[in-house]
Protein backbone atom coordinates (compact mmCIF):
# COMPACT_ATOMS: atom_id res chain seq x y z
CA UNK A 1 0.00 0.00 0.00
CA UNK A 2 2.88 2.37 0.81
CA UNK A 3 4.42 1.71 -2.61
CA UNK A 4 1.16 2.55 -4.34
CA UNK A 5 0.86 5.76 -2.30
CA UNK A 6 4.42 6.87 -3.20
CA UNK A 7 3.92 5.98 -6.88
CA UNK A 8 0.71 8.05 -6.93
CA UNK A 9 2.46 11.04 -5.27
CA UNK A 10 5.38 10.72 -7.70
CA UNK A 11 3.04 10.60 -10.71
CA UNK A 12 1.09 13.66 -9.55
CA UNK A 13 4.35 15.54 -8.94
CA UNK A 14 5.73 14.69 -12.37
CA UNK A 15 2.49 15.70 -14.10
CA UNK A 16 2.40 19.02 -12.18
CA UNK A 17 6.02 19.71 -13.14
CA UNK A 18 5.40 18.81 -16.79
CA UNK A 19 2.37 21.09 -17.05
CA UNK A 20 4.38 24.00 -15.62
CA UNK A 21 7.05 23.80 -18.30
CA UNK A 22 7.17 26.40 -21.05
CA UNK A 23 8.37 24.98 -24.34
CA UNK A 24 6.41 27.18 -26.75
CA UNK A 25 7.72 29.79 -29.12
CA UNK A 26 5.89 33.10 -28.91
CA UNK A 27 5.55 36.18 -31.11
CA UNK A 28 3.83 39.47 -30.41
CA UNK A 29 4.38 42.95 -29.03
CA UNK A 30 5.81 44.48 -25.88
CA UNK A 31 4.58 47.98 -25.22
CA UNK A 32 5.21 50.57 -22.54
CA UNK A 33 7.84 53.27 -22.96
CA UNK A 34 7.95 52.34 -26.66
CA UNK A 35 6.61 49.51 -28.78
CA UNK A 36 8.64 46.40 -29.56
CA UNK A 37 8.08 43.46 -31.86
CA UNK A 38 8.88 40.48 -29.66
CA UNK A 39 9.91 36.86 -30.29
CA UNK A 40 10.65 34.20 -27.65
CA UNK A 41 12.56 31.02 -28.47
CA UNK A 42 12.77 28.28 -25.80
CA UNK A 43 16.01 26.41 -25.13
CA UNK A 44 14.54 24.22 -22.38
CA UNK A 45 11.69 24.32 -19.90
CA UNK A 46 13.71 26.67 -17.68
CA UNK A 47 15.33 29.15 -20.09
CA UNK A 48 14.75 30.95 -23.39
CA UNK A 49 15.88 33.81 -25.59
CA UNK A 50 13.71 36.88 -26.11
CA UNK A 51 14.56 39.08 -29.11
CA UNK A 52 12.87 42.47 -29.34
CA UNK A 53 13.05 45.18 -32.00
CA UNK A 54 11.72 48.38 -30.52
CA UNK A 55 10.60 51.70 -31.96
CA UNK A 56 10.81 54.52 -29.43
CA UNK A 57 10.07 57.71 -31.29
CA UNK A 58 8.89 58.67 -34.74
CA UNK A 59 10.28 62.21 -34.56
CA UNK A 60 13.91 61.12 -34.16
CA UNK A 61 13.65 57.54 -35.54
CA UNK A 62 14.86 55.91 -32.34
CA UNK A 63 15.10 52.11 -32.23
CA UNK A 64 16.71 49.32 -30.22
CA UNK A 65 17.41 45.64 -30.81
CA UNK A 66 17.67 43.53 -27.64
CA UNK A 67 18.55 39.88 -27.11
CA UNK A 68 17.70 38.83 -23.55
CA UNK A 69 18.60 35.37 -22.22
CA UNK A 70 15.92 34.55 -19.62
CA UNK A 71 15.55 32.09 -16.77
CA UNK A 72 12.07 30.99 -15.69
CA UNK A 73 11.24 30.44 -12.01
CA UNK A 74 8.36 29.16 -9.92
CA UNK A 75 5.91 28.04 -12.57
CA UNK A 76 2.50 27.64 -10.92
CA UNK A 77 -0.42 26.92 -13.20
CA UNK A 78 0.17 29.31 -16.08
CA UNK A 79 2.23 31.81 -14.05
CA UNK A 80 5.98 32.25 -14.48
CA UNK A 81 8.50 34.65 -13.01
CA UNK A 82 11.46 35.39 -15.27
CA UNK A 83 14.76 37.26 -15.11
CA UNK A 84 17.52 37.72 -17.64
CA UNK A 85 20.12 39.91 -19.29
CA UNK A 86 21.72 40.41 -22.68
CA UNK A 87 23.11 42.81 -25.28
CA UNK A 88 21.29 45.79 -26.73
CA UNK A 89 22.13 47.98 -29.72
CA UNK A 90 20.20 50.95 -30.97
CA UNK A 91 19.92 54.52 -32.12
CA UNK A 92 18.72 57.10 -29.62
CA UNK A 93 18.25 60.83 -29.87
CA UNK A 94 20.88 62.47 -27.74
CA UNK A 95 19.82 66.01 -26.90
CA UNK A 96 23.31 67.23 -25.94
CA UNK A 97 24.56 66.62 -29.45
CA UNK A 98 21.17 67.30 -31.09
CA UNK A 99 21.44 64.12 -33.18
CA UNK A 100 20.82 60.39 -33.10
CA UNK A 101 23.62 58.35 -31.59
CA UNK A 102 24.29 54.65 -32.16
CA UNK A 103 24.75 52.91 -28.85
CA UNK A 104 25.76 49.47 -27.59
CA UNK A 105 24.97 48.25 -24.11
CA UNK A 106 23.56 45.59 -21.84
CA UNK A 107 20.02 45.22 -20.54
CA UNK A 108 18.44 43.30 -17.69
CA UNK A 109 14.86 42.13 -17.44
CA UNK A 110 12.61 41.09 -14.56
CA UNK A 111 8.95 40.18 -14.92
CA UNK A 112 5.95 37.92 -14.55
CA UNK A 113 3.84 36.23 -17.21
CA UNK A 114 0.70 34.20 -17.54
CA UNK A 115 0.19 31.53 -20.21
CA UNK A 116 -3.47 30.84 -20.87
CA UNK A 117 -4.84 27.41 -21.84
CA UNK A 118 -5.27 28.78 -25.37
CA UNK A 119 -2.19 30.20 -27.20
CA UNK A 120 -2.04 33.61 -25.50
CA UNK A 121 0.66 34.93 -23.18
CA UNK A 122 0.48 38.17 -21.16
CA UNK A 123 3.52 39.54 -19.37
CA UNK A 124 4.51 42.54 -17.30
CA UNK A 125 8.21 43.34 -16.94
CA UNK A 126 10.86 45.96 -16.28
CA UNK A 127 13.97 46.28 -18.48
CA UNK A 128 16.69 48.69 -17.35
CA UNK A 129 19.74 49.13 -19.57
CA UNK A 130 23.26 50.46 -19.38
CA UNK A 131 24.74 51.98 -22.53
CA UNK A 132 28.46 51.20 -22.71
CA UNK A 133 29.25 52.96 -25.99
CA UNK A 134 29.08 55.97 -26.07
CA UNK A 135 30.33 56.23 -22.52
CA UNK A 136 28.46 59.43 -21.65
CA UNK A 137 24.98 57.90 -22.16
CA UNK A 138 24.96 55.74 -19.00
CA UNK A 139 21.98 54.13 -17.33
CA UNK A 140 18.67 53.99 -19.19
CA UNK A 141 15.45 53.38 -17.31
CA UNK A 142 13.32 51.63 -19.93
CA UNK A 143 10.22 51.49 -17.74
CA UNK A 144 7.57 48.85 -17.30
CA UNK A 145 6.09 47.12 -20.34
CA UNK A 146 3.12 44.90 -21.12
CA UNK A 147 3.72 41.96 -23.46
CA UNK A 148 1.01 40.32 -25.54
CA UNK A 149 2.19 37.27 -27.48
CA UNK A 150 0.78 34.39 -29.51
CA UNK A 151 2.31 31.03 -28.50
CA UNK A 152 2.92 28.38 -31.16
* 2-151 belongs to CATH 2.40.160.20: yes
Interval 85-102 mean pLDDT: 79
- Phi and psi at 48, nearest 5°, equal -160, 170
- Asked whether residue 52 carries a pLDDT value surpassing 90, the answer given is yes
Q: Where are the beta strands (DSSP E) in 58-98?
A: 62-76, 79-94
Interval 40-51 mean pLDDT: 95
pTM to 2 decimals? 0.78
SS3 43: coil
Select the more confidently predicted residue: 2 or 45: 45
Q: Count Cβ atoms below 10 Å from residue 7 Cβ, excluding itself.
A: 10
In the chain, which residue ranges form alpha helices assigned H by DSSP?
Answer: 2-20
pLDDT grade, residue 68 (50/70/90)?
Answer: very high
- pLDDT for the residue numbered 56: 77
- pLDDT for the residue numbered 2: 47
List of residues 6+ apart from 114 with CB closer than 8 A? 78, 79, 80, 121, 122, 123
d(CA 106, CA 68) in angstroms, rounded, equals 9
Residue 124: which of 151, 143, 105 has the closest Cα? 143
- pLDDT for the residue numbered 152: 94
- Asked whether residue 135 carries a pLDDT value surpassing 80, the answer given is no
d(CA 36, CA 28) in angstroms, rounded, equals 8
SS3 12: helix
d(CA 27, CA 38) in angstroms, rounded, equals 6
Interval 47-56 mean pLDDT: 93
Interval 52-62 mean pLDDT: 79
- pLDDT for the residue numbered 63: 87
d(CA 50, CA 39) in angstroms, rounded, equals 6
pLDDT grade, residue 70 (50/70/90)?
Answer: very high
- Asked whether residue 9 carries a pLDDT value surpassing 70, the answer given is no
Amino acid sequence: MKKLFFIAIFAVGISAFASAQVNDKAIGIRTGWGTEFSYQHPFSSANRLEVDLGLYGWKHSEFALSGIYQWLFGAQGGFNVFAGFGPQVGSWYWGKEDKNTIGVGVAGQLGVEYNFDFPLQLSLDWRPSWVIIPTDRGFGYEGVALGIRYRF
